[in-house]
Structure 1
Amino acid sequence: MEKTFPDIFPTGAAPRVLSFKCAANEYEPAQFVIRSPKAIQGVTIALSELVSKDGHKLQDIHWNFVGFIPLDSNTPDTTRADRCGCHDRVPEGEIIRLAPCKISDPLLEDEVVDLEANTTLPVWVTVHVPSGTPAGIYEGEARVKGQGIEDEVIPIELEVYPFELPKERNMYLTNWFMVEHISKAHNVELFSEKFWDMLGKYAKNMAEHRQNVVYTPWNQLITVYREGGGSWSYDYANFDRFVQTFMDAGVDGRIELTHIGTPSLLRHVEKGLYGVKVTDKKTGETVRVPGEEGLPPLLGSLQKHLEEKGWLEKAMLHVSDEPNYYTIDDWKKLARFAKKHAPGIKTIDAVSVPGFDGLLDVAVPLSLALEGEFELYKNEFQQGAGKELWFYTCCIPYGHYPNRFLDYPLSDLRVLHWMNYLFDVSGYLHWGLTFGWEEHDGTNFGPAKRFPPGDSHLIYPGKEGPMNSIRWETQRESLEDFEYFTLLEAKTAAIKEKLGPAADPIPADFRSKEIGGKIVKTFSDYVEDVDAIYSVKELLASEIIEIDKEPLFLFMTTPNTNIPVKIGPAVIKLQGVVEEGAKVKVNGVEVEILPDGGFVEIVQLEIDGQVVKIEVEKDGKKKTIEREFEVI
């Protein structure tokens, strides 16, 4: 989970094994690098299938050489000297290297390359473990081949956990793209059969990376005709094919309809409705009708069509992008227009302020803004009251906030969707999946100059479809982590149901959020250490595996293990519930169990003995759990 550089000499011994750990229905990447004091021609990689001791085989394993992106400048305001030492960050701040430099990102399509002497070449290996794959250890090998050298063999070991991630996505993800980007990059005529084939490849790629919301340019896809008598008609053929292409691929969570109004970001720019392109059915002449005239019947028709297709509940309509304190009243005027003419379609927008008088259904504040006014947003957009709260990042924030810029560590992107889970934020939006492509020459995929490096796109146009990046792969890792947290919470809820009312005081998400809190404290305070993140992910997996083993048992502590306990004396409250007939010991001392299975114990911690050990036993089955506290 680290970016490398062509001039970096790998430290330590070569890896003895390329190790993976994951659940079924999960993708898992790993990386190794090749370096030689002499140039090597024709370098390539050969991967074997992975086989378990029981003979089960996994064949969905592939590799890519990682390419480098030239960086002329860094993300703004991340090189300040006052960043040094904060949260153990590098002296330059968030960035991993000062420009000019080359940053690893695209997963190249080339299967054979020539390696220059004393140059580091990263190789990215991805394993996909299909649903239903038996748990266990799977082994195989990677062979590094080249002209004039003996094969270098790297053993591969994959541990498949005895659980699998759900097929459904439990949070929403959208990354914006434009159909023109795909058409131009692959030289296919817009809405031709070749275009639809290519779009299907992009839809499949998005689904494989757990994107479940499709940014839908509805006013471009719907053809509006003026009939002979002056009435209007609507052709939804392209719209339906576009939406169905993504639905069939698995991007089927939400239909995100593009904006009806001009952006609300700038204070002194007049806000208004976009016009509607109308074609005279008899003459073929095309005119643009003002939005005030063209949008009311079009919005009404769109809502009716969505309802007929069974898509209305999935649809969300953007009003005007990024309203703020100065422009929110202008936004409300446009939103009232949308609600009047399409009352059944939810509204969504990226915002930087709360206070929308019920006109906004899906609020997507900038992460920085959400952190600053978190309670106001949470109160206004309560998830159970028909509202939703997402967050977004774009050109900002930077500094202490995580983002997906090229010169940021991958760990920043890895923790992004931990924040979705820990702060009960149900979706994430970013504007840049395919933007900025117009500035590349087919080989030099440099970042779009007018944005922080990497902000404009996560994928690249390949020869026959999308070309992935290590950032795109890492975002999928973060989304899969989200599902781990959700799975532990769901298992906890099921056990609560079995244990009865005595378990009511214990929140179903207590332990999952306690585990996540070891890495993420706030939107701007989180651990970037790669080993720490992997360690916590393994802890999360182990608790998913163990939680529903007998004897069933749940407990919580006050405070939780992430909060230091002060001497005075240092005490914690331990509250739990067990199955009927179970016995419980805390630090070797048996505790009293109430008739309903509940118990409460006050535990005094010692400065040199802050581990609390809980033992539960019933019918010869035993479970031991330890919690470690910091005493200050």
Structure 2
Amino acid sequence: MEKFDLKIISGLEKCFIDQSIEEKKQIKRISMLANERLSFQLAFSAETPLYRRCAFKCNLELESPIREYIKLESVEQVPVKMPVYKDQNDDNYLRKEPGLYPDLLLPFVLERENNLIFVQDELRSIFVTVLCKDGIKAGEYPVKFKAVFEGRVLAEAEIVVEVIGKKTEDLSIYHTEWFYTDCLAQYYNVEVWSERHWEIIENYVKEAVDSGVNTLLTPLLTPPLDTLVGGERLTTQLVDVTLTNGKYSFNFDKVGRWIELCDRCGIKFFEINHFFTQWGAEHAPKVMADVDGEYKKIFGWETEAAGKEYTEFLHSFLDALIPYLKEKGVDKRCFYHISDEPRAEHLENYSKARAVVTEKLKGYTIIDALSNYEFYKNGVVDCPVPGSNHIVPFIENKVPGLWVYYCCSQNVEVANRFVSMPGSRIRIIGAQMYKFDIKGFLHWGFNFWNCRYSVKPVNPFLETCGEYFTPAGDCFLVYPAQDGTAYTSLHCRQFGMALEDHKAMMLCESLIGREKTLAAVEEGAEGFTFTQYPMDEEYLLSMRERINGLIKNA
């Protein structure tokens, strides 16, 4: 007997091909603010023999008064060799074994014939986005899907979307996902800073902005990140350095082009790359220069971080850079870095490195991902960005303007966005950032398509964990399309839901105050912290409906 099923489910779900559609809870109604990005999924499966074929093609049809604002993406399975750290995990993972996991989102074309493929005894889904940046008129709108074959309706599903006639403001926190121009050049096999490279960069910056990024890592010098000691990443240095007769000069033409590109795409802030090496601030990053007519490396692993030569270079560099950024009107839109993830034993080195640039960067904010409170207590970092599992002392000491980050190390108890985690664990960070008044979120991997220490590039479609570097989902948010644009991911979209939650909470606060808004957030989530929070999606769905209701009635 034929049995085709369509079911509308939460955007937080992850549909593994070996699951049953009966395991997924149907949703029949959902609300959204007029200009927010609303997400849900259309799950589909078949339990029929499909006429002795393993797959059956038919047409998916969509009927809705708001059809023009609806985008569909097919949720594709990707190979995950490393879903967790075997010795560092908890019970709040969906699966812990290697296999196929739902993550890659590919465009779904409604106009194409036979666009929907039922596979016998497999569960699959389509990711549905409703978005109109100018806002959709308030009202209730049915959204109906039909699976049709030769005029016969095989299955159908419907949801009612209530649009609340109030709009959110832009994201009020800083949000950076480290953006790697070298990975783009390597994957697409183009010359760094060639016209094609610039085109691809712009495509990916647009995708980053669409994903909620408003602060972009800017490689004035090649970023000294995830690099093997003694090794190099592909040179991606925006600033042209010339050394003639012992004197430095700088050309910022490419920096200007970068700024214009970012402004065009919607980037609001610039995160200047680190001036010293990662994990200790012991050395200078790679710096390339034209030296008396020869293009060569002048600083790198062999260079002492706070040594005389590199100090003189940095002073000359900053003396030229700051006036240029002022001229462009962006100097106050910039953040600066010393070194990434220094530990307690690196405090002395970090302090010396910071001292090199302290006077030159007076009046500007220095931020760094670090989780030892002593760095802030000793005044060597203006804006600490602790890991979410180390944030408590920073909160207890009321550090102003506090940011947060997570990466592969935040794998027990706290939120993260590994592909193996439930969508609710990804989305919860929005409510956590609201409760604790977090001002910025940093993550190291928008498009890191390298193996550990950047020894070589990897194919992200096959190596979702960077050759056993991190659990899948940590290295990158997007996959590379052949045409130089990006495919997004399920874990990216689920993180985006957290940002939409935060924007809704800020709107609610502006209407009824923080106390009432926070009470609505914490209802059913007593003792809500970065390590203790409701683990089921029902809390998040109900919480957003409460927030939306308060906004509607304000």
- 1:212 and 1:458 map into 2 onto residues whose CA distance is 15
C-alpha distance in structure 2 between counterparts of 1:337 and 1:371, whole Å: 30
Give 5+ residue unaligned stretches, structure 2: 1-11, 110-114, 222-236, 300-308, 452-456
Match of 2:475 in 1: 456
Q: Does 1:71 align with 2:69?
A: no
Query: Does structure 1 retain, via aligned residues, the 8 Å contact 2:75–2:104?
Result: yes
User: Do structure 1's residue 23 and structure 2's residue 25 form an aligned pair?
Assistant: no
The residue type paired with residue 409 of structure 2 is: I
- Cα distance in structure 2, aligned partners of 1:418 and 1:12: 27
Change (3 A) 1:479 1:314: same
Q: 2:538 aligns with which of 531, 534, 544?
A: 531
- Using the TM superposition, give the Cα deviation of residue 74 of structure 1 relative to its aligned residue in structure 2, in angstroms: 3.3
Residue deviations 1:358-414 (CA, integer Å, cap 9, x gap): 3322210111111255313x2xx32xxxxx210110012122111111111110111
In 2, Cα distance between the equivalents of 1:248 and 1:259? 25
Counterpart of 1:205 in structure 2 is: 207
- How far apart are residue 544 of structure 1 and its match? 1.5
Q: Distance in 2 between matches of 1:367 and 1:13?
A: 30
Choose the corresponding residue for 2:550, options 540, 543, 546: 543
Q: Deviations over 1:421-460 (max 9, x none)?
A: 1001101111011113566547535322111222111111
Q: Which AA in structure 1 matches 2:210?
A: E
Quote the Cα distance in structure 2 between the aligned partners of 1:77 and 1:528: 21
Q: Residue 99 of structure 1 corresponds to which residue in structure 2?
A: 97
**Partners in 1 of 2:251 and 2:88 — Cα distance?**
52
1:360 aligns with 2:381: yes
Q: How far did residue 114 of structure 1 move?
A: 4.6
Query: Following superposition of structure 1 onto structure 2, how do residues 103-114 of structure 1 map, counting pairs within 5 Å?
Result: 103-109=101-107, 111=109, 112=115, 114=117
- What secondary structure sits across from 1:538 in the alignment? helix
Does the 8 A contact of 2:60 with 2:116 survive in 1? Answer: no
Count of residue correspondences: 498
2:197 counterpart letter in structure 1: F
Does 144-153 or 204-213 show the bigger shift? 144-153
Quick one: which of 320, 324, 336 aligns to 2:343? 324
Aligned residue in 2 for 1:335: 354
Tell me whether 1:144 sits opposite 2:153 in the alignment: no
Deviation at 1:239, TM superposition (A): 1.4
- Once residues 349 and 94 of structure 2 are traced to their aligned partners in structure 1, the CA distance between those partners, rounded to angstroms, is 41
Q: Deviations over 1:609-629 (max 9, x none)?
A: xxxxxxxxxxxxxxxxxxxxx
Aligned mates of 2:541, 2:330 — CA distance in 1: 39
Q: TM-score, normalised by structure 2?
A: 0.84
Separation in 1, partners of 2:140, 2:463: 39
Question: Which of 478, 486, 489 is 1:466 aligned to?
Answer: 486
**Are residue 408 (structure 1) and residue 421 (structure 2) matched?**
yes
Name the SS for the 2:21 alignment partner: coil
Give the counterpart of 1:260 among 253, 264, 275.
275
Identity of aligned residues (%): 24
Match of 2:289 in 1: 278
- RCO greater where, 1 or 2, for CA within 8 Å and sep 6 or more? 2
User: Does 2:184 align with 1:155?
Assistant: no
Q: Distance in 1 between matches of 2:498 and 2:204?
A: 20
Please list, as runs of the form range in 1=range in 2, the aligned pairs for 1:228-267 lying within 5 A after superposition: 230-252=246-268, 254-264=269-279
Q: Which of 2, 11, 36 is the matching residue for 2:22?
A: 11
CA contact (8 A) 2:449 2:459 kept: no
**TM-superposition CA deviations, 1:575-628 (whole Å, max 9, x none):** xxxxxxxxxxxxxxxxxxxxxxxxxxxxxxxxxxxxxxxxxxxxxxxxxxxxxx
TM-score, with normalisation over the residues of structure 1? 0.74
CA drift of 1:209 comes to 1.9
Q: Partner amino acid for 1:339?
A: T
Quote the Cα distance in structure 1 between the aligned partners of 2:59 and 2:313.
Answer: 57
> 2-side partners of 1:287 and 1:416: how far apart?
42
> CA offset at residue 140 of structure 1?
3.9
Aligned to 2:305: none
| Partner amino acid, structure 2, of 1:120 | L
Kept in 1: contact 2:290–2:296 (CA 8 A): yes
Letter in 2 for 1:533: L
**Cα offset for 1:350?**
0.3
* Aligned residue identity for 2:445: G
C-alpha displacement of 1:192: 1.9
Alignment match of 2:138 (pick from 130, 135, 140) = 135
Code of the aligned partner of 1:432: G
- What CA distance in whole angstroms lies between the structure 1 residues aligned with 2:481 and 2:331? 34
What secondary structure does 2:517 align onto? helix
Quickly say closer, same or farther: Cα 1:398–1:287, change in 2 above 3 A.
Answer: closer
Q: CA deviation at 1:512?
A: 1.3
Q: Which amino acid aligns with 2:146?
A: R
Corresponding residue number in structure 2 for 1:447:
465
What SS does the corresponding residue of 2:122 show, helix, strand or coil?
Answer: coil
Structure whose alpha-carbon radius of gyration is higher: 1
CA distance in 2, matches of 1:432, 1:480: 20
Please name the residue that 2:448 is paired with: 435
2:58 & 2:319 partners in 1: Cα distance? Answer: 59
Residue type of the alignment partner of 1:283: G
Structure 1 alignment gaps of length 5 or more:
52-56, 84-92, 383-387, 493-507, 548-632
Pick one of 278, 288, 298 that aligns with 1:288.
Answer: 298
1:512 to 495, 511, 517: 517
1: distance between equivalents of 2:287 and 2:267?
28
SS at match of 1:274: coil
Deviation for aligned residue 1:349: 0.2
Provide the rounded CA distance (Å) in 2 between the counterparts of 1:104 and 1:175: 22
Per-residue deviation, residues 239-274 of structure 1 (Å, max 9, x unmatched): 12122212211121x210111111235xxxx71333
Please name the residue that 1:222 is paired with.
Answer: 239
Deviations 1:15-39 (A, max 9, x none): 5x76442112211111122211323
Residue number in structure 2 paired with 1:190: 192
Once residues 144 and 486 of structure 2 are traced to their aligned partners in structure 1, the CA distance between those partners, rounded to angstroms, is 27
Deviates more, 1:294-303 or 1:336-345: 336-345
* 1:541 partner letter: N
* Cα distance per residue 1:125-181 (max 9 Å; x no partner): 111033242211123432335689745333343211121111x32111111121011
Q: Please, which of 166, 169, 172 is the counterpart of residue 170 of structure 1?
A: 172
- How far is the alpha carbon of 1:99 from its aligned partner? 0.5
Q: Which residue of 2 aligns with 1:391?
A: 404
Q: CA RMSD in A?
A: 2.5
Measured in 2, the distance between the counterparts of 1:13 and 1:442 equals 29
Residues 224 and 277, structure 1, Cα contact 8 Å, conserved in 2: yes
State whether residues 83 and 418 of structure 2, in contact with CA within 8 Å, keep that contact through their aligned partners in structure 1. Answer: no
C-alpha displacement of 1:335: 0.9
- In 1, the alpha carbon distance for the partners of 2:357 and 2:58 equals 58
Amino acid across the alignment from 2:518: K
